[in-house]
A and B are shown apart, each in its own frame.
Chain A
Amino acid sequence: MTPERWQQISRIFESAISLDPEARAAYVADQCGVDESLRSEVEKLIDSHRKASEENFIGGLAAENNAALLIDENEVQTEHRTLKKGQQLGSYVIVDLLGAGGMGEVYLAKDTRLDRTVALKVLAPNIAADKRRMQRFRQEAKVASSLNQPNILTIFDFGEIDGLTFLATEYIDGETLRDYLHTKRLKLGEVLDIAMQVLAALDAAHEAHIVHRDIKPENVMIRRRDRVVKVLDFGLAKVTEKKTATRASDESEMEAATALKTTPGTFMGTINYMSPQQAQAHAVDERTDIWSTGVMIYEMVTGAMPFKGATSSHTIVQILEKDPGPLSKQVKVPAELERIVLKAMAKNPEDRYQTAKDMLIDLRNLKRQLDVSAEIERTSSPSMPQATVAADEMPRNSQKTRVLVFALIAMALVTAAIFGVNIWRSSRARPNVPTSPAPVAERSLTYWVTVQKFRNGKPYQDPFTQPGEMLFEADYQIRLNFRAPQSGHLYIVNEGPSGASTTPEFNAVFPTPTANGGSSLLSAEQIIQIPEQTWLKFDRQEGTEKLWLVFSNEPLPDLERIGEFAGPRTQGQITDPSLNKFIQDFLRTHSDPKPDYEKGDTLTTLKSTSNVIVYPIKLQHH
């Protein structure tokens, strides 16, 4: 079938099905005229349309409709190698099967040498035969056993007996935080206790330059008898670059460190707890664990994950873009806890807690304050909202009451101040929220600059975001990001530091033949990143680069031509003198009136009531 024929059929089909069934036949007959085969095609399609609706053809999701296809291959393998109760494996006697999964099985076992109970993880034979998987298993053993901290699961032994590879760890009689969350809603005091212990574990790991990278409720165990928290599964952990010069004379240590240094930017972990850096496959550091801990606390407090979409793609987009929303939406929480959690979940790692210890200290102070409030609640009885979210009971001496009242008032003031700051910040970060009736047809465009440092040609540290104003080093590479509440056409040219000469020369930046599908049209709320795959870097000539933005509610045919030059052929250089001249005149005539701009910590928003916004982003570089 030719595309023309296809278009013809689809046009008639679409109109026909929007009509009542009685009117359809006449319409189709009328449209097709004497072309019998056309009519037959259309009628068959209409019939298929009816059947497809009735059968709900391809109505669900492919993955759901075919779930069975996905499962049966990998699932069944682990059964056959089960160790029996009472069976001996070296000095271990199997007591019970605790669980099984793709990697192997976990048994409750008795170590007869030391007469202690252990959890014995036995690797499935097909996995043990796989070199790379074995290496990962070994890494987990090495990393975790190098850490000695009460909140980290202790590794006892690792080896091979009778052809079976195993890992023996401390056995925790308890449940995972995930199971715990399934069964009950946590009290605030419990949340803080758990969070503080997780952070204590992370502090120790980070101290040893180990990033866990997979903090989530499934990997946090709570021991039944004393509620002690254990962080599990350093299987995804990585050793970060040593910040201080440590003597790495020990060769095996060196070897372990190199083996663990995975390529920066690998996808890892459960999606919902991933930091934006993990989700974008950027290199991650300790602050990724801070993020995940924040997400976990959020979930413990509200009972819901802050980022959870219909599919993994939706979730990732939320992680990158969505404001997690206030904790206090469903439950009453102290403003200070909200501040701590939201700080941990700052999109930009620079805005997060920089160390687990700092976050731990803030939580500990909060816990103390809440304990104090609870105490006051009991001894005197002013009704203080803070006090009703009581932390754990802690018997105290009532003589302290006066001092405590003072402390409480001070705390309330601090809380109010923090809350006030938050309101101020959020209103600044979202300049488009109308506070009064909106002025007629005000247009706005928000931009921000992502900066990636490079060293020796390789990305170095996490990229960060800023509103455009800074001194760029020669080895910084950048991306421009734009978003607007209304759709419009965007054009960008670059004017170099040489400044206005008689023969203007601009470089094409946007549109390009590939970015945004080759279109200059920015849809409402679409975020566009320029360039899409790579980075812009500065050339050798120091000075101020002007990136001229033109944002128009109509397409501008002359400026559309910019795209012709945004290719490897001209290296972006606009070689047509008449176009350069046109651009120069256009920028000059439209620069006035200047748009209003608001600079935030990371974003700049331009506003104007005219149909065309013209604005130069100035980037100063060495």
Chain B
Amino acid sequence: MLVEWSDGNQSALDELYPLVYDELHRLARRYMSRERKDHTLQTTALINEAYVRLVDQRNVRWSNRSHFFAISAQIMRRILIDHARRHAYAKRGGGAQQVSLDEAATVTPVQGSELIRLDEALKSLAEMDPRRSQVVELRYFGGLNNEEIAGVLHVSQNTVTRDWNMARAWLHQQLTGSASN
């Protein structure tokens, strides 16, 4: 007979965190510099960072692409929230400095504290409706499109669109404070 061999359940989240962390920083930098020509040293430095962070890490395995996408989105969320928390903390401690929003931005930036509130609202949503909360996580934090989200959650794309509309409206309501529970 075949028996399943258990090596103790390692937390895939913890294992992947550092990798995605660094990828995110790179993405952030590229995004902010808008395709400024790559600097060799900086990229290398980032990878060095990744290495240093990972020397103690152990194997991580995921079962399939859905699993991997889902985990990545969770990690992205965690990293961003961690940053937002630290940022908010530093702001409270140090001389408060108002950051002016870029007026040319085409999307509403959810900065620092607002991101934390979004995270809290998503948690509340997950208690009532885990799937809708996950749709938001996969799309907004994981960068997946509807087709991919449908694949991860085993639902149709129409369902994803509907879930998104509802979840977004509700989150907007929570964040603008016009909610009444």
Closest to A15 in B: B162
Q: How far is A266 from B46 in the complex, measured between Cα atoms in Å?
A: 16
Q: Are A262 and B55 in contact (CB under 8 A)?
A: yes
- Contacts A62-B80, A62-B140 given; does A531 touch B4 at CB 8 Å: yes
Chain A residue contacts of B84, Cβ below 8 A: 66, 69
- Rounded to whole Å, the gap between the CB of A134 and the closest CB of chain B is 10
Q: Are A311 and B42 in contact (CB under 8 A)?
A: no
Chain B CB within 10 A, most for which of A312, A459, A531? A312
Q: Are B39 and A73 in contact (CB under 8 A)?
A: no
- Rounded to whole Å, the gap between the CB of A139 and the closest CB of chain B is 10
**What class of interface size applies to chain A in its complex with B?**
35 or more
The B interface is mostly helix, strand or loop, or mixed, namely: helix
Q: Are A494 and B165 in contact (CB under 8 A)?
A: no
- Contacts A71-B28, A523-B151 given; does A534 touch B4 at CB 8 Å: yes
Q: How far is A100 from B42 in the complex, measured between Cα atoms in Å?
A: 7
Partner of A48, one of B61, B111, B173: B173
Closest to B164 in A: A58
- Rounded to whole Å, the gap between the CB of B152 and the closest CB of chain A is 10
Q: Are B42 and A101 in contact (CB under 8 A)?
A: yes
Q: Are B128 and A235 in contact (CB under 8 A)?
A: no
Q: Does B98 contact A (CB under 8 A)?
A: no
Chain A CB within 10 A, most for which of B136, B166, B169? B169
Q: Does A532 contact B (CB under 8 A)?
A: yes
Chain B residue contacts of A71, Cβ below 8 A: 25, 28-29, 32
- Rounded to whole Å, the gap between the CB of A447 and the closest CB of chain B is 14
For B4-21 the 0/1 string (1 means CB < 8 A from A) is 111101100001101110
Closest to A482 in B: B64
For A38-74 the 0/1 string (1 means CB < 8 A from B) is 0000001110110110011111111111111111011
Q: How far is A523 from B168 in the complex, measured between Cα atoms in Å?
A: 27
**A/B pair count, beta carbons within 8 Å:** 304
- Rounded to whole Å, the gap between the CB of B3 and the closest CB of chain A is 6
- Rounded to whole Å, the gap between the CB of A229 and the closest CB of chain B is 15
- Contacts A48-B178, A58-B171, A496-B1 given; does A523 touch B108 at CB 8 Å: no
Of A175-183, A424-432, A584-592, the one with at least 4 CB within 8 A of chain B? A175-183
- Rounded to whole Å, the gap between the CB of B18 and the closest CB of chain A is 7
Chain B residue contacts of A533, Cβ below 8 A: 7, 9-10, 61, 63
- Rounded to whole Å, the gap between the CB of B93 and the closest CB of chain A is 14
Closest to B136 in A: A58
Q: Are B19 and A14 in contact (CB under 8 A)?
A: no
- Contacts A101-B39, A532-B67 given; does A313 touch B142 at CB 8 Å: yes
Chain A residue contacts of B176, Cβ below 8 A: 48, 51
Partner of A44, one of B43, B68, B112, B178: B178
- Rounded to whole Å, the gap between the CB of B53 and the closest CB of chain A is 9
Q: Does B110 contact A (CB under 8 A)?
A: yes
Q: Does A371 contact B (CB under 8 A)?
A: no
Chain A residue contacts of B109, Cβ below 8 A: 65-66
- Contacts A59-B107, A66-B83, A263-B58 given; does A74 touch B25 at CB 8 Å: yes
Q: Does B45 contact A (CB under 8 A)?
A: yes
Chain A CB within 10 A, most for which of B69, B86, B87, B143? B143
Add 4 more A-B contacts to A52-B172, A58-B168, A313-B69 (CB < 8 A).
A44-B178, A61-B143, A98-B41, A534-B6
Q: Which residues of A contact B (CB under 8 A)?
A: 1, 3, 6-7, 10, 13-14, 17, 44-46, 48-49, 51-52, 55-71, 73-75, 98-104, 106, 130, 132-133, 136, 176, 178-179, 182, 214, 218-219, 233, 235-236, 262-271, 280-282, 310-314, 316-317, 320-321, 459, 477-478, 494, 496, 507, 509, 515-517, 519, 521, 523, 526-529, 531-539, 541, 545, 547, 571-572, 619
Nearest 6 pairs of A and B residues by beta carbon: A532-B63, A101-B45, A102-B45, A49-B169, A70-B28, A101-B41
